[in-house]
Amino acid sequence: MAGLSYPLVLAALSAFILALALHPVSVDAKFSKSTYFNWGGHHSSISGNGEDLQLVLDKTSGSGIQSKQAFLFGSIQMLIKLVPGNSAGTVTAYYVSSTGDRHDEIDFEFLGNVSGQPYIIHTNVFVQGNGSREQWYVDSVPIRVYRNYESQGVPFPNKQGMRVYSSLWNADNWATRGGLEKIDWNSAPFVARYRNFRARACKWNGQPSITKCAVNSPANWWTSPVYKQLSSAKQGQMKWVRDNHMIYDYCRDFKRFNGNMPPECFKPQF
C-alpha cells in the first residue's frame, strides 16, 4: 500500500459481523466539526474548509485526533495518505474505541517501512479489555472479519459506544522488522494526510442505544441480511488475501496460547 496514494480505510461495526465493507451512502462530517486534536495539535492542522487533516510526527511529538461523538453500529470512513518514502519506525493508527479497563476497540495500524517497501497492516479486536486477536493483511478488501458468536459465549463488541481515533507516532522499538529499523529523524517531519471523514453510524447516547441501534429497520442499514455474512465473492477475496498476504494470524499461533486457543478460532471466520 503506497504512501503516495489515498487508500480508503473504512471500519464497519455490525451487530452481526465486523468487517471492512463499503456502503454506497455516507453522511458528510468535517474534521473541523466532528473531531479535535487530543495530542500534538501544536504542529498538526485542519484545512480545506475543514475537510483536510494533517498529522505530524517529529522529534518533539507525534499527534492524534478523536471524534466528539461516540458510535455503536455503522460505518466510519476516511481517506488516508500514509507517510511517504522512508517511514520506518512510524505507525499511523486508525481505530474506534470505548474507554475504561474493559473497553472495546477495533484497531488498524499501518506499520511504516524503509523506502520502496510496502506497509504492513496490523489489525486487532478488543472485547471487554481483552485483545490478542492480531492479524496482518496487505492490499485487499475485505481485510478483516470478526463474526458475532455471542450466543455461543464468545464476547462481541456491541454494548459500548466507541469514538473514532487516528494518530501518528514513534514506534521504532517494534514497528519495523521487530524494531531493527529505526526512525531516520533526518527525514522528519513525517506527515500523514486525511480527507473526507464520513460517519454513517448509530450515535451512542448511553445504554438505550444498545437496543435502539440493533432494531431491524431500513434506517439501521447494518441489520440487513447482506451484512450478516460475506457474499461468496467476498469470501473468495478473503481466502485469496489469507493465502497470499497474511503473515500472522493469532488463530494459528498455538505456541502463544499454549494450546488454549480463543474459542472463536474453532468457528467459521467469515
Q: Are 139 and 118 in contact (CB under 8 A)?
A: yes
Which residues are tagged catalytic? 105, 109
- Can you tell me the distance from the alpha carbon of 181 to that of 25, in angstroms, rounded to the nearest whole number? 41
Please report the DSSP string for 128-154 in residue order.
TTB----EEE-S-SS--EEE--GGGT-
Report long-range pairs for 208-216 (Cβ below 8 Å, ≥24 apart): 209/72, 209/161, 210/72, 210/158, 210/159, 213/15, 213/72, 213/73, 214/15, 214/73, 214/158
Please tell me whether residue 255 adopts helix, strand or coil conformation.
coil
Phi-psi region of 267 (alpha: psi -120 to 50; beta: other; left: phi over 0): beta
Rounded CA-CA distance 194/6 in Å is 8
Distance between start and end Cα atoms, the chain: 23
